[in-house]
């Protein structure tokens, strides 16, 4: 893995920063439905990075789980593979971004999973019902850096879709948090096969 760059628009390529699912239910805070270790600290670190790179990105966007009625994605007896305890219900405290995440930096927020399971940010739609892919294309953005939660689930899915859709994609591994060491390592290895993984993941 390479060192994480200090800026995003190198070589004249306009990049967007995609911040994945840094929400209370995914952070290690009291009452979180699916807490990921290091998630709360990560929220502040991502905000610091964005502030330090004010002119680095042509756009900064965020994705969020925003469940209304996701069907069998929720279960009272979840297997933590295809079914999960209720989390990130639309409008709830758990669905809100962590308070240390500076949402003022976001040019658009893409909500996903309203009525079904959803992992990739490219399933999300913005406030005008535009998809993330269309929003980026409309601004002639063909390169993305991806950060957020969780490395081994929604970050992974977003990165794999970004590369499949033709975006030049980087994962800033030190600005991601994973659920478990083994699955995080596997996800990073898989992503490295299709995208550039920069920075070292937090221990």
pLDDT tens per residue, range 96-155: 999 999 999 999 999 998 888 888 999 999 999 999 999 999 999 999 999 999 999 999
The count of domains in the chain is: 1
* 5 pLDDT higher than 50: no
143, part of any domain = yes
- Range with lowest mean pLDDT among 1-5, 62-66, 72-76, 148-152: 1-5
**Percentage of residues in the chain having pLDDT higher than 70:** 93
**What is the pLDDT averaged over residues 166-189?**
97
CB-based contact 16:9 (threshold 8 Å): no
203, part of any domain = no
Torsion over CA of 171, 176, 180 and 182, rounded to 10 degrees? 30
**What is the pLDDT averaged over residues 177-196?**
97
Name 39's Cβ contacts closer than 8 Å, sequence gap at least 6. Answer: 22, 26, 27, 28, 29, 98, 149, 177
Name 113's Cβ contacts closer than 8 Å, sequence gap at least 6. Answer: 65, 66, 67, 70, 73, 88, 123
Mean pLDDT of the chain: 91
Report the C-alpha gap between 16 and 28 in whole angstroms. Answer: 27
CB-based contact 126:59 (threshold 8 Å): no
Looking at residue 11, its pLDDT comes to 53
Question: Could you tell me the pLDDT band of residue 9, with boundaries at 50, 70 and 90?
Answer: low
Report the C-alpha gap between 2 and 138 in whole angstroms. Answer: 30
Which residues belong to the active site? Answer: 21, 112, 154
- Parent domain of 33: 10-198
118, part of any domain = yes
* 2 pLDDT higher than 50: no
Q: What is the DSSP letter of 105?
A: G
130, part of any domain = yes
Q: How many CB atoms lie within 10 A of CB 164?
A: 12
Helix residue ranges, H only, the chain: 39-52, 132-138, 156-164, 181-192
5, part of any domain = no
Looking at residue 67, its pLDDT comes to 84
Looking at residue 76, its pLDDT comes to 77
Question: Could you tell me the pLDDT band of residue 8, with boundaries at 50, 70 and 90?
Answer: low
User: Partners of 197 in the beta sheet?
Assistant: 171
Tokens at residue 118, please?
A: 């959803």
Classify burial at 192, counting beta carbons within 10 Å of its beta carbon; exposed 0-12, middle 13-18, buried 19 or more.
middle
**pLDDT tens per residue, range 71-108:** 777 777 776 778 877 889 999 999 999 999 999 999 99
Question: Of 123, 116, 128, which is closest to residue 68 (Cα–Cα)?
Answer: 116
Looking at residue 3, its pLDDT comes to 42
CATH number at residue 174: 3.40.50.850
Looking at residue 6, its pLDDT comes to 47
* 48 pLDDT higher than 70: yes
């Amino acid at each position: 893995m390479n060192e994480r760059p200090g800026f995003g628009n190198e070589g004249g390529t306009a990049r967007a920063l995609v911040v994945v699912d840094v929400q209370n239910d995914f952070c290690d805070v009291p009452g979180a439905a699916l807490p990921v270790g290091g998630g709360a600290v990560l929220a502040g670190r991502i905000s610091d990075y964005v502030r330090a790179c004010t002119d680095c990105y042509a756009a900064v966007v965020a994705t969020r789980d925003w469940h209304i009625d996701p069907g069998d994605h929720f279960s009272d007896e979840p297997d933590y593979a295809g079914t999960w305890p209720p989390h990130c219900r639309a409008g709830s405290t758990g669905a809100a971004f962590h308070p240390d995440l500076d949402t003022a930096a976001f040019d658009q927020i893409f909500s996903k999973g309203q009525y079904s399971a959803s992992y990739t940010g490219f399933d999300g739609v913005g406030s005008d019902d535009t998809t993330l892919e269309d929003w980026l294309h409309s601004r002639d953005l063909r390169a993305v850096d991806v950060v957020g939660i969780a490395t081994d689930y929604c970050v992974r899915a977003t990165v794999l879709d970004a590369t499949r859709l033709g975006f030049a994609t980087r994962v800033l591994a030190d600005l991601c948090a994973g659920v478990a060491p083994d699955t995080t390592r596997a996800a990073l290895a898989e992503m490295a096969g299709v995208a550039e993984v920069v920075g070292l993941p937090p221990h």
